[in-house]
Structure 1
Amino acid sequence: MQPSTEQGATPTATGPNAIARGLGALGDEWSLQVLRAAHAGATRFGRFQEQLPVSAASLAARLAFLSDEGLFTRRIYQQNPIRAEYVLTPQGRGTWPILVAIWAWEDRWADHPRGALPTRRHRTCGHEFQPVLVCAECGEPTDRHQVRTTWGPTGGWARSVPETTTRRRPRSPRRPGEFPETMAVFGNRWAAVVIGAVFQGLRRYSEFETTLKIPSNILSERLRVLVDYGLLRTEVSAEGRREYRLTDKGTAFFPVMATTLNWAERWYSLPEGPAMIWQHHDHALVPRLDCDQCGEPLAAAEIEIVRD
């Protein structure tokens, strides 16, 4: 995945683009957990509270935020007192590939206790599976090395930084089904931009600072956290300069980024055009997740959570 603006449209507009808005919607401390519970069937406030170790005030704020963003529809089912349920919209239901990609990445790479994450079964073939990122246009498996990106009309680093900010909780044991290491990236607006910049070829501290316009103290902290979680490693170049490069764990995060940005472009697109243009070989990339066992495309309704 190599960056280029030479063949893409020159970004000219202002304001947050689809990348910024999509990462802002999903990057809240609890947004992914609320969506996970909703995909598992939760609609009412009490059910969300049963599944998530979050305060009532925080849960109410997240449900209101995700409703305002269009991921939930709020429906009143009782008038006195007023009680509402929160039902996933098509936009909200469209997050399932992101959650599946995150789950698979956490299951393979994150420091979870053994058995902390339940397994997934593909009802179509009856097997436990891992999702495989493929190009929906040609059906071939793909990774970051086979994808070329250019900024679109609404692209550019300045427009791609999420406006929301969240507090990063300290690294600690989590309940089953949580995504602690994913939140090291999604849970902080600058971390998401930094990891995206590394995917696009930035390597040196000075490049991050100049290109992304990140305050130096924040940049240092974000790089430290990403190294601490094992997504980045440092090495010394032939010129004797320190560089930051993706580890195997960091490289494996690509399906999460691809499904997330594809979702963001679908639901937060602007009239001026896309933020980023994805090219796979000689055609546009449309990310899709397939089953590694039978090769068939995955669908939300065909994924069964296997619990002990």
Structure 2
Amino acid sequence: MKPPVDDAPNAISRGLGVLGDEWSLQLLRAAHQGATRFSQFQQRLPISAASLATRLSLLSDEGLFTRQIYQEHPIRAEYILSPRGRATWPILLSIWDWERTWGDERTAELPLMRHSECGHEFAPRLVCAGCDEPVELGRVLAVWGPAGGWSRSLPETGTRRRSRPSRTPEQFPETMAVFGNRWSSVVVGAVFQGLRHYAEFESALTIPSNVLSERLRVLVERGFLEVVDSGSARAEYRLTAKGAAFFPVIALTLLWSDQWFADPGGAAMSWQHGDHPLVARLDCDHCDTALTAAAIDVVPRT
């Protein structure tokens, strides 16, 4: 499918721009766990006051938080998750599950999760609500919609860290290897859509060759991609098991983006699961029931 002529940023660009900052992910996680006030976010995260104020302002401007004044002199505000912000919980849960499975030794610091309805620790499983079947990478077709296209989907940079400051959360290091760089996000998306060769990436993404080489190198070093000798003159870049396991995070992020940053011209991407539209849902792998944010308990590690 040819991308549209309009090059204005689409829903994918805006959604990845918001979630492509690790402090923003951490603030969303803290908010889902009950933090609403500036001091509460500071107590939970090793973030400077300036960085916190900037991220709270950005998340409010992007509609994920609603700012509510609770004191006039001096002015004090609470930051309440909006419907758009509350809808990020499946993404955060999928990131947590992927990091604990494929991350490094720092994943030992991640909290445990318990499904209150069955009382067991669990892993989220991506299923299609339309047919109750697991959503597997090979059975999902994602094509550009009316507002799609590589140039329009390049993540915005307004909420993304341009350089690594001295104090960083380091909670989602593997995820940030993908989301934390706008070009990595696009390269990974291209791999999920079936691109395999260097020339294909370069042509479809209109990405500078030096940047493309560097991003592919990082993704290979991180174990997200592997270089395969296909028997031809051109090597192929393919997803490893670790890379393929990131699919729920990608799918849920893009679906969330299209829903909450909807473009008047139509969807950025159209999803099919088998012979019907994909309706994503997370189930508990222990009791096979649909997960809800309210039924997930965070269990601190002792």
User: What's the TM-score, normalizing by structure 2?
Assistant: 0.94
**Partner amino acid for 1:102?**
I
Q: Is residue 158 of structure 2 the alignment partner of residue 166 of structure 1?
A: no
Counterpart for residue 237 of structure 1: 230
CA drift of 1:50 comes to 1.3
Distance 1:224 1:168, change over 3 A: farther
Q: Which moved more, 1:133-142 or 1:47-56?
A: 47-56
* Letter matched to residue 233 of structure 2: G
Q: How far 1:240 moved relative to its partner? A: 2.9
**Is residue 262–residue 286 contact of structure 1 (8 Å, CA) maintained in 2?**
no
Taking the TM superposition and a 5 Å limit, the aligned residue runs for 1:214-229 are 214-229=207-222
Contact 1:13 1:153 in 2 (8 A): no
User: Structure 2: which amino acid aligns with 1:225?
Assistant: V
Once the two structures are TM-superposed, the CA of residue 167 in structure 1 deviates from its matched residue by 2.8
User: Is the deviation greater in 291-300 or in 52-61?
Assistant: 52-61
1:262 positional shift: 1.0
- The answer to whether residue 150 in structure 2 is matched with residue 144 in structure 1 is no
Partner residue of 1:260 out of 219, 233, 253 = 253
Who is 1:190 aligned against? 183
Instruction: Classify 1:180/1:273 alpha carbon distance in 2 versus 1 (closer, same or farther; 3 Å).
Output: same
Q: Secondary structure at the match of 2:105?
A: coil
| Structure 1 segments (4+ residues) deviating >4 Å | 172-175
Are residue 80 (structure 1) and residue 73 (structure 2) matched? yes
1:13 deviates by 3.4
Q: 2:148 is matched by which residue type in structure 1?
A: G
Give the alignment partner of residue 88 of structure 2, picking from 85, 92, 95: 95
1:1-308 to 2 correspondences below 5 Å: 5=1, 11-113=4-106, 115-164=108-157, 165-167=160-162, 169=164, 178-307=171-300, 308=302
Greater shift after overlay, 107-116 or 141-150?
Answer: 107-116
Q: Is the 8 A contact 1:209 1:219 kept in 2?
A: yes
SS of equivalent to 1:196:
helix
> Partner amino acid for 1:22?
G
Residues 70 and 76, structure 2, Cα contact 8 Å, conserved in 1: yes
Aligned length: 298
What does the per-residue CA deviation read over 1:4-46, in whole Å, with 9 as the maximum and x for residues that have no partner? x28xxx6343311111111011112411111011111111111
Look up the SS of the partner of 1:193 in the other structure. helix
Given residue 167 of structure 1, which amino acid in structure 2 is its aligned partner? R
RMSD of equivalent CA atoms: 1.8
**Unaligned stretches of 5+ residues in structure 2:** none
Q: Is this contact kept in 1: 2:126–2:134, CA < 8 A?
A: yes
* Residues 100, 108 of structure 2: 8 Å contact kept: no
**Structure 1 unaligned spans of 5+:** none
SS at match of 1:104: helix
Change in Cα spacing, 1:114 to 1:105, as seen in structure 2 (3 Å) is closer
The answer to whether the 8 Å contact 1:168/1:188 transfers is: no
User: What is the distance in 1 between the residues matched to 2:80 and 2:268?
Assistant: 29
SS in 1 for 2:153: coil
